[in-house]
Amino acid sequence: MYFTTGTYFVFLMAVFFGYWALAGRPRWRLAFLAAASCFFYSLMGVRGLLLLVAVSLVDFTTTTLMAGAEAHRRRKLLFISLAVDIGTLCAFKYAGFFIETSAGALSILGVTLPFPAFEIVAPAGISFFIFQSTAYVIDVYRKDTEPAGSYLDYLAFLSFFPTIVAGPILRARQLLPHLRRAVALDASSGGAALFLIAIGLIKKIAIADYLSANLVDRVFDFPERFSSLEVLAAIYGYAVQIYADFSGYSDIAIGSAMLLGFTLPVNFNAPYRSRDLPEFWRRWHISLSTWLRDYLFFTIAGSRRRNWVSLYCGVIVTMLIGGLWHGASSTFVMWGLLHGVGLAGVRVLDGLRRRHGWARGSSPWSNALGVVITFHFVCFTWIFFRADTIDRAAAVIRRLFSLTSLTADLSNLTPPVALVMALGFVAHWFPDRLYDGAANGFIKLPSLAQACVLFALAVGLYFVASSDIAPFIYSRF
Amino acid sequence: MNRIVEISDPARPTRMLAERNQSDGSYVLLGKTARTLVSFLLLAILPYLVPGLGRYRILPASTMLGTSAKESARESASQAGKAELGSRAGQTEVEPTPGGVEDLSGQALEHFFRALHETETTEAQTRVCHYGDSPITNDGITSTVRRKLQLRFGDAGHGFVLAARPWAWYQHAGVYHEAASSWNSDPMFISKGDHLFGLGGASFTADSTSASASFGTAEDGEVGRLVSTFDIYFLAQPGGGDFEIDIDGVPQARVSTSSESVKSSFHEVRVPEGPHRMTLKPAGNGEVRVFGVALETSGRGVQYDSLGVNGAFIGLLAHYIDEQHWAEQLRHRRPDLVIIGYGANESQFERLPMDQYEKDTREVIRRIRSALPDVSILFVGPMDRGERGAGGKVLTRPMIKKLIAYQRRLAAESGCAFFDTFTAMGGEGTVAKWREARPRLMGGDFTHPTAQGAEIVGTLIYDAMMRAYEQYKERRQH
């Protein structure tokens, strides 16, 4: 059940009315929310739900036992939880990849071992709920958060239907304490939630799916059939597509949670406005980048004193693992590696700048140059993220720089596609007051007018839809 | 697009609670948001109750309770097309044979199967020319059929390869082929030039020594590892220049293309059977016009020429390649089977003049039979080709089924065999399923299969051929 289907909105309405009918009975309300979330997730596969229940049972038990335990015992419990969480993720997502890679490496050395063919289809959202549960266990171990009051609380937190498939990756403190507290929803928050869901749908259907179907997929499937300029346009198109797709998902998730009285953290903040790569990662998939920083980078590089080896290696290894988190594929490894090297490179430059007392340019031109360079670096890495294989990515790059295809031919870039792409970029620079004005305008409408606007939007999106309920890109991870 | 966070305030629910001091949610159930949601639901249900609003059905019921107006209109159009087709195609009724070769006469592939049987039992060779449109140009489908035939019956060489690359994605599997970009390519299309496009539907001219083209055996893979003859197809013409040939880097010959008249010409370069590479380049003393090179071995086996032309349709072979010239090319090549696989480009025209289509198809059959009276002809129907419909659904183009019905009937009436690729792939809606498959089987243009999809289509064609061949052998025994 994807967020863009009518089925989801029927489900969301049913949950909305059931949830608020039980608002005065926290335990029942929580049980209803957990049941609805489990039902939602089970529609994507009962196997995934069973796995989620198993992981949540282990992590809830270990964190409960941590309370009042000695440091030595706490470490043991932490180790058990991490072994289960990471082991589950590796078994379901990376076993085949590691076996294949090992076989390839050994074959280079002339050793051929009869590795079994190993393919397990990972349940949707496994990377998200495993990271969320792991963060909870580490937070409880570090005493940064209190253990969940009951298993029901923890199950409701981990299976929370707006975030279960593709985040944002929640920290326990962002949701767990609020689950049993009294919740509230006024007309303003309700209107804002519906407006946010509408924006998310526009981003997903009218921008991401449209660009995917009408340009990006075609070029990435057969780059050799397109001119260099068209390949370049497709790479830009993918940059807009993945942003609109994922931030659209996040908007719908945040809006859905708002309808139930919860406020989730923001996950995107105009990422293509970034002037350097570290800023990009402060604006892109914020819940993942902060997770990687807090639980991986600080562990590898240490949170305070760092020598340059631990710093740069820490950045590169963190981003490599971040790449691998997206999927067991050499393309994601390459994507992570490029970002790791890029981030390390920016740090080296910053160090040189400080050492030599060079001032960082802050003029509009230097800012614009920074934005252009950062954007194109990110676009280059998107080639690996989007391509199915390294060979395919290489084919795209070859085509991009092929002199024989360096023509002015843009016949496959139709005006509507160019317009949608331009809209995707320009929206990054929309003045705040424009968005706020539209949101407030919607909020102030009478309920019937709000319904008419939403219905007109739904019909409009139905007719402009370029694909038949395309899954969100990040729901694969 | 990102400012919504400012509406979100982590402290907001708590603050609101303090202001309201309400502990139950009844006020929410009666509140504005609930009223908006209920109104929205009523508006969404309305099109299911009012027949005239059918096209605004957006809820999941649209798939459970009925179809949208767009889909209804489409279905009506499809039915109308079928009715029209039924009245026109009424002369010959052919029962579809999903996944099999259809041969109403029972003799359509006799010549080809006889050749194949001789190849299987003696040292003979069998040759196939497979004409097609853009899905054939990268040899994805045809390389599968070639490989499978050669693994079973023997590898008699790769077959025909165009002199250079008229399209960047032109490539053949199981052969080495490199060409300089300085060749001037002229692929077959409407009203272009003198209509002399060689066997493969494209001609290449150059007068500079910087233009070269190399052909050789494959460096890896199961087939295409040997060659004993490079057969060069070129045009002899007044004022034609020379081209030089070297084998494995050693100069071998200089061939003149000068002639008193314009005519198809051929030059064979024989080498000891094994892995070799031949390079051909103009000598610089005049324009050289080359069509391609066929790589052959002396042993038994199959040669399978992949002759795809981007944007091609049946009318090109009927009108836009010179009949006499094409006949010369075909007679020299001597195929035992000619496969005609067009339809993808015709399918984009919903008002294709079917009378003309029928005439063109009959003309192509006549031209082939005129050049090679005994040759077998197999029509390979178009693959499923998709387009976006209501709600973004990927639907089969309506013309596909119409074209298949015409091809089936015309093949039957002309003593040709027919293979229904569309039905063998899975029929209506296959393109959507193949697009969603992992790995993807269909490209994002819903027209060209991916490498994996091409492998499947090639296997379907090969399997159908082999089933018909086994039936032929059974008939032979009786």
Q: What pLDDT score was predicted for residue B3? A: 38
Closest approach of chain A CAs to the CA of B163, in angstroms? 17
Whether residues A216 and B37 touch (CB distance < 8 A) is answered with no
Q: What pLDDT score was predicted for residue A469? A: 54
In chain B, whose CA is at the least distance from the CA of A1?
A: B60
Q: What pLDDT score was predicted for residue A304? A: 61
A359 phi and psi, to 5 degrees? -80, 145
Structure tokens at A318: 């963190």
- Quote the CA–CA distance of B260 and A370 in Å, as a whole number: 67
Please, which residues 314-373 of chain A have a Cβ atom closer than 8 Å to chain B? Answer: none
Is A263 touching B (CB cutoff 8 A)? yes
In chain A, whose CA is at the least distance from the CA of B46?
A: A455
- Quote the CA–CA distance of B441 and B394 in Å, as a whole number: 14
Question: How would you list the strands of the sheet with B417-419, edge to edge?
Answer: B101-102, B417-419, B376-380, B337-341, B125-132, B301-308
Cβ–Cβ under 8 Å, residues A474 and B63? no
Q: Which one-letter amino acid corresponds to residue A125?
A: G
Is A191 touching B (CB cutoff 8 A)? yes
Cβ–Cβ under 8 Å, residues B436 and B394? no
Closest approach of chain B CAs to the CA of A33, in angstroms? 14
Interface test with A, best of B4, B46, B169 (most A CBs within 10 A): B4
* Among candidate residues A33, A48, A40, A49, the one with its CA nearest the CA of residue A9: A40
Is A221 touching B (CB cutoff 8 A)? yes
Q: What pLDDT score was predicted for residue A429? A: 84
> Which residue among A13, A182, A435 places its CB closest to the CB of B41?
A13
- Quote the CA–CA distance of A303 and B70 in Å, as a whole number: 60
Closest approach of chain A CAs to the CA of B454, in angstroms? 13
Q: What is the pTM of this model?
A: 0.69
Residue numbers in A near B20 (CB within 8 A):
184, 186
Beta bridge partners of B427: none
Is A192 touching B (CB cutoff 8 A)? yes
Q: Which residue in this structure is represented by tokens 């319904």? A: A451
- Quote the CA–CA distance of A109 and A103 in Å, as a whole number: 10
Structure tokens at A418: 């160019």
Q: What pLDDT score was predicted for residue B9? A: 41
A356 counts as catalytic: no
Q: Which residue in this structure is represented by tokens 């009949």? A: B323
Closest approach of chain A CAs to the CA of B339, in angstroms? 25
Residue numbers in B near A469 (CB within 8 A):
392
User: Considering A326, A356, A376, A428, which one is annotated as catalytic?
Assistant: A326
Q: What pLDDT score was predicted for residue A112? A: 67
Is A247 touching B (CB cutoff 8 A)? yes
CA distances from B187 to B20, B164, B307, B314, B459 (A): 77, 11, 11, 15, 28
Is A260 touching B (CB cutoff 8 A)? no
For chain A, the C-alpha Rg in angstroms (whole number) is 23
> Which residue among A212, A262, A428 places its CB closest to the CB of B1?
A428
Q: Which one-letter amino acid corresponds to residue A351?
A: G
Whether residues B4 and A195 touch (CB distance < 8 A) is answered with yes
Q: What pLDDT score was predicted for residue B60? A: 56
Which residues have C-beta within 8 Å of that of residue B425, sequence separation ≥ 6? Answer: B383, B384, B434, B456, B457, B460
Whether a cis peptide bond, with omega within 30° of 0, leads into B439 is yes
Interface test with B, best of A468, A469, A473 (most B CBs within 10 A): A468
Whether residues B444 and A216 touch (CB distance < 8 A) is answered with yes
Cβ–Cβ under 8 Å, residues A33 and A156? yes
Q: Which residue in this structure is represented by tokens 């001119």? A: A227
Closest approach of chain B CAs to the CA of A116, in angstroms? 20
Closest approach of chain B CAs to the CA of A348, in angstroms? 31
pLDDT tens, position by position, for chain A (477 residues)? Answer: 677 778 888 899 999 999 999 988 889 999 999 999 999 999 888 889 999 999 999 999 999 999 888 889 999 999 999 999 999 988 888 877 777 777 777 777 777 666 665 566 778 888 899 999 999 999 999 988 999 989 999 999 999 999 998 878 999 888 888 888 877 888 999 999 999 999 999 999 889 988 887 888 888 887 877 888 889 999 999 999 999 999 999 999 999 999 999 999 999 999 999 999 999 999 999 999 999 999 988 888 776 666 777 788 889 999 999 998 888 888 999 999 999 999 999 988 888 888 887 777 778 888 899 999 999 999 999 999 999 889 889 999 998 887 665 566 676 678 888 999 999 888 888 888 888 899 999 999 999 999 999 999 988 888 776 555 566 666 665
- Quote the CA–CA distance of B447 and B442 in Å, as a whole number: 7
Q: What pLDDT score was predicted for residue B172? A: 92
Q: Which residue in this structure is represented by tokens 């949601």? A: B37
> Which residue among B9, B32, B445 places its CB closest to the CB of A263?
B9
- Quote the CA–CA distance of A52 and B111 in Å, as a whole number: 63
Q: What pLDDT score was predicted for residue B471? A: 93
Q: What pLDDT score was predicted for residue B191? A: 60
Closest approach of chain A CAs to the CA of B448, in angstroms? 9
User: How many beta-carbon contacts under 8 Å exist across A and B?
Assistant: 211
Structure tokens at A37: 């979330």
> Which residue among B10, B25, B32 places its CB closest to the CB of A24?
B25
pLDDT in tens, B30-83: 889 999 999 999 998 888 888 777 777 776 543 333 333 334 333 433 443 343
Residue numbers in B near A217 (CB within 8 A):
443-444
Cβ–Cβ under 8 Å, residues B123 and B441? no
Q: What pLDDT score was predicted for residue A56? A: 95
Residue numbers in A near B168 (CB within 8 A):
224-225, 399, 402, 404-405
In chain A, whose CA is at the least distance from the CA of B24?
A: A24
B159-162 vs B288-296, strand pairing mode: antiparallel
Whether residues A439 and B394 touch (CB distance < 8 A) is answered with no
Q: What pLDDT score was predicted for residue A312? A: 86
Residue numbers in A near B394 (CB within 8 A):
467-468
Whether residues B168 and A459 touch (CB distance < 8 A) is answered with no
| Three-class HEC string of chain B | CCHHHHCCCCCHHHHHHHHHCCCCCHHHHCCHHHHHHHHHHHHHHHHHHCHHHHHHCCCCHHHHCCCCHHHHHHHHHHHHHHHHHHHHHHHCCCCCCCCCEECCCCCCCHHHHHHHHHHHHCCCEEEEEEEECHHHHCCHHHHHHHHHHHHHHCECCCEEEECCCCCCCCCCCCCEEEECCCCEEEECCCCCCCCCCCCCCEEEEECCCCCCEEEECCCCCCCCCCEEEEEEEEEEECCCCEEEEEECCEEEEEEECECCCCEEEEEEEEEEEECCEEEEEECCCCCEEEEEEEEECCCCEEEEEEEECCCCCHHHHHHHCCHHHHHHHHHHHCCCEEEEECCCCHHHCCCCCHHHHHHHHHHHHHHHHHHCCCCEEEEECCCCCEEECHHHCEEECHHHHHHHHHHHHHHHHCCCEEECHHHHHCCCCHHHHHHHCCCCCECCCCCCECHHHHHHHHHHHHHHHHHHHHHHHHHHHC
- Quote the CA–CA distance of A407 and A158 in Å, as a whole number: 52
Query: What ipTM was reported for this prediction?
Result: 0.82
CA A154 from chain centre, in angstroms, equals 22
Interface test with A, best of B15, B23, B28 (most A CBs within 10 A): B28
> Which residue among B34, B439, B448 places its CB closest to the CB of A222?
B448
pLDDT tens, position by position, for chain B (478 residues)? Answer: 443 333 334 444 444 443 444 556 677 888 899 999 999 999 988 888 887 777 777 765 433 333 333 343 334 334 433 433 343 444 455 455 567 999 988 899 999 999 999 999 999 999 999 999 988 998 999 999 999 999 999 999 999 999 998 886 788 999 999 988 789 888 888 766 789 999 999 999 999 888 999 999 998 889 999 999 999 999 999 999 999 999 999 999 999 999 999 999 999 999 999 999 999 999 999 999 999 999 999 999 999 999 999 889 999 999 999 999 999 999 999 999 999 999 999 988 877 889 899 999 999 999 999 999 999 999 999 999 988 766 567 888 889 999 999 999 999 999 999 999 999 999 988 888 888 787 778 887 888 888 889 999 999 999 999 999 999 999 888 7
Cβ–Cβ under 8 Å, residues B129 and B338? yes
Buried b (16+ CB within 10 A) or exposed e, A455-477: bebbbebbebbbbbbbbbbbbeb
For chain B, the C-alpha Rg in angstroms (whole number) is 29
- Quote the CA–CA distance of A231 and A16 in Å, as a whole number: 45
Closest approach of chain B CAs to the CA of A354, in angstroms? 33
Beta bridge partners of A445: none
Whether residues B444 and A218 touch (CB distance < 8 A) is answered with yes
Is A206 touching B (CB cutoff 8 A)? no
Interface test with B, best of A22, A25, A263, A453 (most B CBs within 10 A): A263
Helix axis angle, B140-153 relative to B110-121, nearest 10°?
50
Cβ–Cβ under 8 Å, residues A373 and A195? no
Q: Which residue in this structure is represented by tokens 């070269």? A: B212
> Which residue among B8, B25, B392 places its CB closest to the CB of A468?
B392
Cβ–Cβ under 8 Å, residues A203 and A299? no
Whether residues A199 and B1 touch (CB distance < 8 A) is answered with yes
